[in-house]
Amino acid sequence: MSTATTRKQPPAITKAIGAIVGIPIAIGLMLFAFLAPNFASGPEGVPIAIAAPEPMVTQLTQNLGEDGPDITVYDSDADVVSAVEHREAVGGMVITPAGATVYTASGNGAPYTQMMEGMAARLEAQGMEVAREDLAPTSSEDPQASGLAVLGLPLAFGGIISAAVATFAFRGNKWAKLGVLVGIAALGSLVATWMLHSVYGTLTGSFGMEWLAVSLGILATSLLTTGLAAIIGTAGVAIGAILTIFVANPLSGLATGPWLLPAGWSTLGQWMPIGATGHLVRSLSFFDGLGAQQAWWVLAIWIVAGFALLLLDRSKRAAQVEG
């Protein structure tokens, strides 16, 4: 004789109250995730390279104030140029008795170019001759590199959707899941890179390297999410989606680069797949690949972690039990 057990469902009023209270809380958290970094952003801590006589450096530091950019003093013009080209600084300034040279890097983002232009204008207001040089120019088709701001769409949704497809359509077959994720990442990134490179003219570097970078970004998100689902079930997809959409995306700095975000937020964003991919693509497109070492490692770590989780796939055992 067997007895059927039924799980007691909560009363309708309880579910209604949970929905009425829970969804507004989720909306508030979503707005906080996207808006808080922007409202807390500012020039404080933005790295700028300067080579100038000590009295001029002191005067500049005092004029910028405590909440101004983070000034690093270098010995020569060449050192300042190297710092900007290697993305150790968003811009640079060299001041000599004969005048000043302001180095910008449009590839870092428009706000930093405007910041350096403001500093150049203050020097000119003091009667100093100022030359300008852009060390990392953007394309004439998209001078603001605004196309990079929407790169988060294929990175986030491409990664999450492909993870959901692999999880639910290929349950119990980890190698099929891996093949699907790699294939979607490769072809999805090909479409995204082609559009940003050849259609809209945002990207100007090596097409193959940019394609590889976007592929790794999509794969890092999709593989981690699929790996989480492989060991904890459907909740893994939800966790991956939350981490990607509400944490990685708003903290990525895709539109402006990470330096305008508060220090802790920007660091977290650069250690997540979308932020690392955005930094990597900018480096490949506008800086000849310089300053991208950390981004390569970040994506590799996420991919290895996701693959390791996928190897522990328990979904096949679960399917057999349910069957």
Question: For 226-269, how does the pLDDT look when each residue is reduced to its tens digit (9 = 90+)?
Answer: 999 999 988 899 999 988 988 888 888 888 888 888 777 888 98
**Which whole-number Å values give the CA distances from 205 to 68, 106, 110, 193, in the listed order?**
32, 14, 19, 11
DSSP one-letter code for 71:
E
Position 1 scores a pLDDT of: 43
Whether residues 193 and 286 share a domain: the answer is: yes
Domain that holds residue 249: 146-322
- CA dist 51 and 94 (Å) reads 5
CA dihedral 300, 302, 304, 307 (to 10 degrees): -140
Mean pLDDT of the chain: 86
Position 315 scores a pLDDT of: 64
Is it the case that residue 10 has pLDDT exceeding 90?
A: no
Domain membership flag for residue 139: no
Q: What is the pTM of this model?
A: 0.85
* The domain boundary residue, chosen from 111, 134, 157: 134
Position 187 scores a pLDDT of: 95
The pLDDT-based confidence of 192 (bands split at 50, 70, 90) is very high
**CATH at residue 106:** 3.40.190
Whether residues 107 and 62 share a domain: the answer is: yes
* The domain boundary residue, chosen from 100, 134, 168: 134
The residue ranking higher by pLDDT, 280 or 60, is 280
- CA dist 251 and 269 (Å) reads 5
Please give the average per-residue pLDDT across 274-286, as a whole number. Answer: 95
Whether residues 263 and 225 share a domain: the answer is: yes
The token duo for 37 is 């970094």
- CA dist 104 and 91 (Å) reads 5
Give 141-153 pLDDT, tens digit per residue: 998 888 898 898 8
Structural domain total, the chain:
2
- CA dist 77 and 36 (Å) reads 38
Domain membership flag for residue 25: no
Domain membership flag for residue 23: no
Domain membership flag for residue 310: yes
Q: Which helix (H) or strand (E) holds 83?
A: helix 77-85
Is it the case that residue 322 has pLDDT exceeding 50?
A: no
**What does R_g of the chain's alpha carbons equal in angstroms?**
24
Q: What letters, b where the CB count within 10 A reaches 16 and e where it falls short, cover 218-236?
A: bbbbbbbbbbbbbeeeeeb
